[in-house]
Amino acid sequence: MAPDLERAADRWRGWAEAAALLVASATLFAFVSRIPSWNPADLVHYAWLFAISLVIHEGGHAIVSLLVRHRLVEVQLGAGPHVTIRLRGTRLRLAPVPLGGHVLAVSNDPDSYRTKRILIIIAGFTANAVVFLAIVAGGAQTGLLWELAMVNALDAAINVLPLRIKTPLGPVRSDGGLLVATLTASPAELEEEQASFYAVQAQILAEGGDRDAARDVVLGALHDHPTSQILRGWHGHDLVLSRRYDDAADVFRALADPPSDGEVPMQAHIRALYLNNLAWSDLMTEDERLLPEAEDASRRAIEVLPAHPAVMGTRAFALICGGNLREGTQLGEKVFAKHRDTKDRATTAAVVAIGRALDWRIPDAERWLATARGLDADCDLLERASQELERRKAGPNLTADLEGTWSSDQGRVAESG
């Protein structure tokens, strides 16, 4: 979005959010007021109504995506822990809470790209509105159909307004917000969106185990889209996984800098992820000269995304490397509790073990190291954590020079694509 339009959007976004709350509250009040007797046991009944409305909404996005010949990559229905079903190249994710969902569809075809994206965006709340109008036109004023109509009206009302919803992983736009952004996007911003097609294609290949083919896709696309943020970010992440930390740091350092004239403006939470990855790459080089940059980058990243697990983990590691052992290990323990992925938990446990070892808390370090080993016997940090622990157990005369040492070989980087 152009800077003047972005400033204008910021001015009326608060009013739009207030209006959305008002409309949603009024609709919900009208909905509940028509129910003769509200019983908490009816919650399951109304959860099904919201689930039907969610299917209608996300189904609208998905169907139009296929009609305009976008590649339908993923459809998620609901929030919370999910199960994944693969249907002809599309991931269908089903979660238990019938509030929220998304459709991921991409295309590299520049022909009428903006128009196609607009059609996909409006398809969700349009589908809800059509169902509402059809039921009302049919004369239903009570009963199950009327309740379904009101739930669809609520869904459409919330999504049509240009909201920006805060989440621990960064802000998420409503359909109305996406519509405003697409209508006002510059040609460079639309080109960046199209470049995401190759990043998604590469990610699918990587998840299938063919990282070499994924790398070739991204490098080839970078030849045609050399300034693409998402492609450069994917390339930097791949360099980290390949343990080419110096090269990765160069990529993320360039991405973290303010964009040059003509480049796509970057949202704050995206820059925070790149700053996080820059800090991680710096730390992985084990070059003490880069510690100030790593500390500064991780601090700036966590200021924007204070609840993002990967950002918290990087900050914990930077604090430990900088000698702030107590704060770093405490933050590491906190993020360990947040992680659900076994490998992430193992890596974080090893980081805490390193911090405890450097703080001469040998029994704690041993327990955390055992936890890491039990979670993932192949964790890259196990050997380094073991070395730090053995050095401390050997005595001060062998470890006096290790205060503030660079003590991790962790290869986890925040996904920023």
Write the pLDDT tens digit of every residue in 335-344: 999 888 898 8
The pair phi, psi for residue 86, each rounded to 5°, is -100, 125
- Distances in whole angstroms, Cα of residue 373 to Cα of each of 198, 286, 317, 334, 363: 36, 23, 19, 19, 15
**Residue with tokens 């204070």, as numbered in its chain:** 306
Any domain includes 41 = yes
Q: Which of 136, 157, 184 is the last residue of a domain?
A: 184
The 10 Å Cβ neighbour count of residue 235 is 22
Any domain includes 310 = yes
Q: What is the DSSP string of 328-392?
A: HHHHHHHHHHH--SHHHHHHHHHHHHHHHHHTT-HHHHHHHHHHHHHH-TT-TTHHHHHHHHHHH
Q: Which residues pair with 104 in a beta bridge?
A: 74
User: What's the CATH number where 212 sits?
Assistant: 1.25.40
User: Is the domain of 175 the same as that of 197?
Assistant: no
| Residue type at position 292 | P
User: Is the domain of 172 the same as that of 225?
Assistant: no
Q: Domain range for residue 96? A: 3-184
Any domain includes 171 = yes
Any domain includes 23 = yes
CB 326 within 8 A of CB 364: no
The helix or strand, by DSSP H or E, that contains position 145, with its residue range, turns out to be: helix 143-160
pLDDT tens per residue, the chain (417 residues)? Answer: 333 333 344 444 444 544 554 455 445 545 555 555 556 666 677 788 889 999 999 999 999 999 999 999 999 998 878 898 988 889 899 988 887 889 999 998 888 999 999 999 999 999 999 999 999 988 777 778 888 998 999 899 889 888 877 766 567 788 999 999 899 998 888 988 889 889 988 988 898 888 999 999 999 999 988 989 999 999 999 999 898 999 999 999 999 987 766 667 888 889 999 999 999 999 988 899 999 999 999 999 999 999 999 999 999 999 998 999 999 999 999 999 988 889 889 989 999 999 999 999 999 999 999 999 999 998 877 988 998 899 998 876 444 444 444 443 333 445 444
User: Is the domain of 287 the same as that of 405?
Assistant: yes
User: Is the domain of 321 the same as that of 385?
Assistant: yes
Any domain includes 143 = yes
Strand ranges in 37-188 using DSSP code E only, listed in sequence order: 71-79, 83-87, 90-94, 97-106, 164-165, 172-173
Gap between the Cα atoms of 304 and 307, Å rounded:
9
| SS3 state of residue 297 | helix
User: Is the domain of 319 the same as that of 239?
Assistant: no
What is the pLDDT at residue 37?
A: 56
Q: What is the DSSP string of 29-50?
A: HHHHHT-SS--GGGHHHHHHHH
CA neighbor of 247 nearest in space, from 267, 224, 219, 225: 219
Any domain includes 275 = no
User: Is the domain of 8 the same as that of 115?
Assistant: yes
How many separate domains does the chain show? 3
What is the pLDDT at residue 95?
A: 87
Q: Which of 184, 203, 229 is the last residue of a domain?
A: 184
User: What's the CATH number where 316 sits?
Assistant: 1.25.40.10
User: Is the domain of 109 the same as that of 153?
Assistant: yes
- Distances in whole angstroms, Cα of residue 144 to Cα of each of 58, 92, 151, 208, 236: 21, 28, 11, 44, 52
Torsion sign (Cα): 168, 342, 282, 295: positive
CA neighbor of 197 nearest in space, from 108, 88, 69: 108
Q: Which of 155, 184, 213 is the last residue of a domain?
A: 184
User: Is the domain of 28 the same as that of 176?
Assistant: yes
CB 192 within 8 A of CB 182: no
Gap between the Cα atoms of 132 and 135, Å rounded:
5
User: Is the domain of 73 the same as that of 175?
Assistant: yes
CA angle 389, 392, 393 (to 5 degrees): 85
What is the pLDDT at residue 406?
A: 44
242 Cβ neighbours under 8 A, 6+ residues apart:
none
Gap between the Cα atoms of 289 and 215, Å rounded:
30
Any domain includes 216 = yes
User: Is the domain of 347 the same as that of 409?
Assistant: yes
User: Is the domain of 162 the same as that of 42?
Assistant: yes
What is the pLDDT at residue 32?
A: 53
What is the pLDDT at residue 262?
A: 62
Any domain includes 272 = no
Token pair belonging to 149 = 């109509």
- Distances in whole angstroms, Cα of residue 317 to Cα of each of 42, 142, 184, 354, 376: 48, 59, 40, 9, 19
Gap between the Cα atoms of 169 and 376, Å rounded:
25
User: Is the domain of 179 the same as that of 203?
Assistant: no
